[in-house]
A and B are shown apart, each in its own frame.
Chain A
Amino acid sequence: DVKVTQSSRYLVKRTGEKVFLECVQDMDHENMFWYRQDPGLGLRLIYFSYDVKMKEKGDIPEGYSVSREKKERFSLILESASTNQTSMYLCASETARTASDGELFFGEGSRLTVL
């Protein structure tokens, strides 16, 4: 079974702290994604990566950065956490994008609270 593992299920951080959310997948997938999920807003794409050291902005990249040094690991970084970044963060992966792809495998999510 494909496994996408997010390092922390729950985090509580202070405003201004640097926050790292880690995601690891074990199926050699090329593509990885970070979404945030908020009530009433659904899932919104923050960043995605199609290959090691490659990254592209999603719909709401402001306040975030990412790192993909190894194929299996995709990290989301909040350089200076703010209260409006309190949210559920979901990592996902999929095999190389083809015209018929879109079957994402998701982790269980990381619920971040910024005080």
Chain B
Amino acid sequence: AQKVTQAQTEISVVEKEDVTLDCVYETRDTTYYLFWYKQPPSGELVFLIRRNSFDEQNEISGRYSWNFQKSTSSFNFTITASQVVDSAVYFCALSESGSNYKLTFGKGTLLTVNP
């Protein structure tokens, strides 16, 4: 069963728009971790953030922010004032104590920011 769902396959925005990438996860574990990774056109995935299941505090890092809501099993990622350099594929991922913390990735969302 798919454990991480990124319903948006592709999103296209114009520069300076705000954009939210959705991530819904499924787990039976009480201890788990959620992640976002960015894959620019060069191909190398880059770690953006890790969140544990006991910390629902939202996080902001510059233009990036993350909204973790256990009630809806969601871990959404918002880019404020998007830029062309934000164009990439973004992956949400889950690791669970029951799976020895192996990462399960979503299918990814391709974000295109147009000038």
* Chain B positions near chain A (C-beta within 8 angstroms): 9, 31, 33, 35, 37, 42-47, 50, 52, 91, 93, 95, 97, 100-103, 105-108
Contact = CB atoms under 8 A, between A and B. Distances in A.
Contact of A42 (B35, B52, B101, B108): B108
Contact of A43 (B47, B91, B95, B100): B91
Nearest to A111: B43
Contact of B101 (A45, A92, A99): A99
Interface in A47-102: 48, 58, 88, 90, 92, 97, 99-102
Interface string A96-115: 01011111111111000000
Contacts of A109: 43-44
A42 B107 contact: yes
Q: Is the interface of A mostly helix, strand, loop or mixed?
A: loop
Cβ-closest 8 pairs across A and B: A42-B107, A106-B45, A43-B105, A109-B43, A42-B105, A108-B44, A103-B47, A108-B43
B95 A102 contact: yes
Contact of B31 (A35, A99, A104, A105): A99
B50 A104 contact: no
Contacts of A99: 31, 97, 101
Contacts of B101: 97, 99, 101-102
Contacts of B106: 42
Contacts of A88: 43
B105 to A, nearest CB: 4
B45 A90 contact: yes
Contact of B107 (A40, A90, A102, A103): A40
A35 to B, nearest CB: 8
A107 B91 CA distance: 16
B103 A104 contact: yes
A12 to B, nearest CB: 17
